Chain A
């Protein structure tokens, strides 16, 4: 089923406008709301020279519309300012943290869907039974848990009290040194498999389980509820009735016809739950000392490192827009009605 080039081009143009919008709003918030943006930019305890330098960096001596153009130019050329906490350019810091977060989020979504979709299907098939009620309670509670608190409790119980799994950092530095592990892609699971480095792989798996499960709580609830709702809808449709009338077995109807129609809208909901998950990653990474963009952003927030915070926010927002566009495109490939 080919998607027209026109649709893809249209979506990409739209994406560019969305990113421009994101940059515009960030500009308004960071430059127009504070009375003296250079004070925020230079950080606490800044000297007069540092503040003056920040003023120059932000082009505050120029008219506002030129400021915006220069701001866009700075953004595109990677001139995002210097983090005063790490003393390195924000863009370098931010980009180096991205893979850690991506790895965590991907594993979290894997958990969420691998558990969520079957549970949702089960709840839909046993509609109004105790299984359905239990699922509802679990998903509502799961969606209401403060994720940072869940992270703390899980870390305390499984990491400290029971001591089953390590609950901080991506990998043990000692193992890295001993085995001579060198990350290439930045995805440690992938890297250790490529290099055939078993100790690092096992350690990475052990360390990713807890944070990924905590992070999976919200997308799990969302995908379960979505699957249940859509499955009920799909099963009540006319074509299912005709399949029953044809004498097809329940199994065939479920796996061959209904499941496919159910999964499409569930995938389409991925965009929004990705947004929640990446923000959840800010807190989960902070608790689990996971060196991703969330940890970096949270540490920057706690130490009032303003350029670093803005860099993270813009990166995450752009990433979110790209994911949404991709989800829409995939959605349109599976379900041609969306293309209209």
Chain B
């Protein structure tokens, strides 16, 4: 009951602030477009990069082609729209895979502690010694270009952050009396971890993970831009920007609009993250609630 009320307050806080509401709408629109884009793009063949049309090269934005056409005469709007699907797949894939590695490592290290915990966390630290994205660059260069390789490369550079987060949470949870109770009741370690530790240690990590999707999109685009991401003619936003680079002096729209799509999406996620962080902090929440005149 208390939990429900807490979530309701957070939701009402987000809706009440215009900026947060906009960010929520951006994120929802991105998800909806990402799922439906393959079915609604106006020129599906252009979107997938299967065609090229010499007469239609470098057309500026018009009614027929709202964002213009690219160097091969393909409708840019279709390509950018389909790009949202790829960004969604990449974001979900990277975060999902990173959680899949990070959560078990963090829980095991936190729950068992001792030598196992130290060893696991030392390995995690080794990964964290690389600046963000650098590890992904070596991995992507090693694995070669491709959507799956890009996701793997980013996930492997990403999981240590979740492992750390889960580790800290597990350490807090494992000293709670109900874990002792479960031990006395004779539950196996695996059962305790699965049923009692993970669900309680996971909430902050999951929230963090959902909001990290913006960063995942940003970094994937960066990798594609420097040539270690997806293969052309995949309509991934970073790759679209790099394709528009050569002709930027006479056809600025080709590089401009995919970048704007990245910016809008990532701003949506980051503003939402900001709003959530603020509403999750009880000290800040009270001042905001008072300012908004919400009764608590």
Contact = CB atoms under 8 A, between A and B. Distances in A.
A160 B158 CA distance: 38
A170 to B, nearest CB: 20
Contact of B138 (A26, A146, A279): A26
B131 A148 contact: no
B130 A148 contact: no
A33 interface: yes
Interface residues of A, number: 50
Nearest to B238: A146
Contacts of B137: 279, 282, 297, 301, 309, 313
A317 B134 contact: yes
B76 interface: no
A116 B157 CA distance: 29
Interface in B126-166: 126-127, 129-135, 137-139, 141-143
Given A30-B138, A279-B134, A149 B226 contact: no
| Residue among B225, B252, B263, B270 with most chain A CB within 10 A | B225
Given A143-B270, A302-B226, A320 B130 contact: yes
A89 interface: no
| Residue among B134, B135, B222, B266 with most chain A CB within 10 A | B134
B218 A146 contact: yes
A30 B142 contact: yes
A302 B227 contact: yes
A137 B267 CA distance: 9
Nearest to B249: A160
A51 interface: no
Nearest to A278: B131
A35 to B, nearest CB: 11
B245 to A, nearest CB: 6
Interface string A125-151: 000100001001100110111111100
25 contacts: A21-B125, A22-B126, A33-B139, A33-B143, A136-B19, A136-B274, A137-B19, A140-B274, A143-B270, A144-B267, A145-B266, A146-B241, A147-B222, A148-B225, A148-B226, A148-B238, A149-B241, A149-B262, A156-B252, A279-B134, A279-B137, A286-B226, A298-B226, A301-B137, A309-B137
